[in-house]
Homo-oligomer: A and B are copies of this chain.
Amino acid sequence: MTESHHPFDRAIALTPEAPNLFFGRTSDDYWNAISPYGGVTAATVLEAVLQHPDRIGDPISMTVNFAAAIQGGELIVHAYPARTGRSTQHWQIEMTQPGDKQPLVTATAVFAIRRKTWGDIESRMPKAHGPQAFQRYLLPKPLPFLERYDIRYVDSSPYATEEESVTQCWISDVPPRRLDFPSIAAYCDSFIPRLFVRKGIASPVSTVSMSINFHIDTASLSAAQGTFAFGQARANGFNNGFYDQEGKLWSEDGLLLATTHQMVWFKD
């Protein structure tokens, strides 16, 4: 199986249709309860910029806002550079579907040509055994997209039912796939909802906005080892219908890949 035949690559595939306009299709492989898995939607938004002929540099940060449920079928992605500086570029992206003129997804992204500078990682990967030491977490009735992720919790259970919602896990595509910017964007949404962790049961949740800060560049990413990422996630607060989720992702060899933050609508 070549990489281009990976279900993730098929799910985020876009065809350029006109300047700044790309067509795609939702993927049954990454279906969630009522709409596509948000991580794949974020990856598709990013893919539009990565494919765009005017793009410069690497992704630095992106924000994806989920405005309404995407239906199964065709996706229309409009992506254009709002402003390009000497080394940074600011993107506007919207996703629509035929017959619905209002955007289902709005997004912004900052790309930049990075330069060699001093660097340091303050958020080091927590000490844990490698992914081989843990078992894949399997739900009795998994949603389709969860079959595409091999998630291995390094603590006893993702349902802590304690006073803190922190979870730690290894995450890999199924089948394994080399980490790249789109897959990292998708991993950022793969953490079990913090509400489930706190309540010990699943309840209706829906991400309204997710931001991702990328800490790696193309060169360091191409040198990263392994196909798993180590993920740590937590919530800062739950209040009147919304809670947040913060996550960090490292490569198997401890490179900080991305930090991510989202706000989630919930019903209790």
Contact = CB atoms under 8 A, between A and B. Distances in A.
A209 interface: yes
Q: How large is the interface on A (under 10, 10 to 19, 20 to 34, 35 or more residues)?
A: 35 or more
A213 B262 CA distance: 8
A217 interface: yes
A188 interface: no
Interface in A91-137: 92, 94, 102-104, 106-108, 110, 112, 114-123
Given A65-B90, A114-B240, A215-B237, 20 more contacts: A60-B209, A61-B263, A63-B211, A65-B108, A67-B82, A67-B83, A87-B241, A90-B103, A115-B240, A115-B241, A116-B240, A120-B163, A120-B237, A121-B239, A122-B234, A122-B237, A122-B238, A213-B236, A213-B261, A236-B256
A41 to B, nearest CB: 14
Contacts of A198: 120
A165 B90 CA distance: 28
Interface of A: 60-61, 63, 65, 67-68, 82-83, 85, 87-88, 90, 92, 94, 102-104, 106-108, 110, 112, 114-123, 163-165, 198, 208-209, 211, 213, 215-217, 220, 234-242, 244, 246, 248, 256, 259, 261, 263, 265-268
B108 A108 contact: yes
A61 B106 CA distance: 13
Given A65-B90, A119-B237, A213-B263, A208 B242 contact: no
A176 B81 CA distance: 40
Contacts of A259: 236-237, 244, 246, 261
B242 A114 contact: yes
B244 A209 contact: no
Contact of A165 (B67, B122, B238, B246): B122
A256 B244 CA distance: 12
Contacts of A102: 82-83
A67 to B, nearest CB: 4
Contacts of A165: 122
A78 to B, nearest CB: 12
Contact of A60 (B118, B123, B213, B263): B263
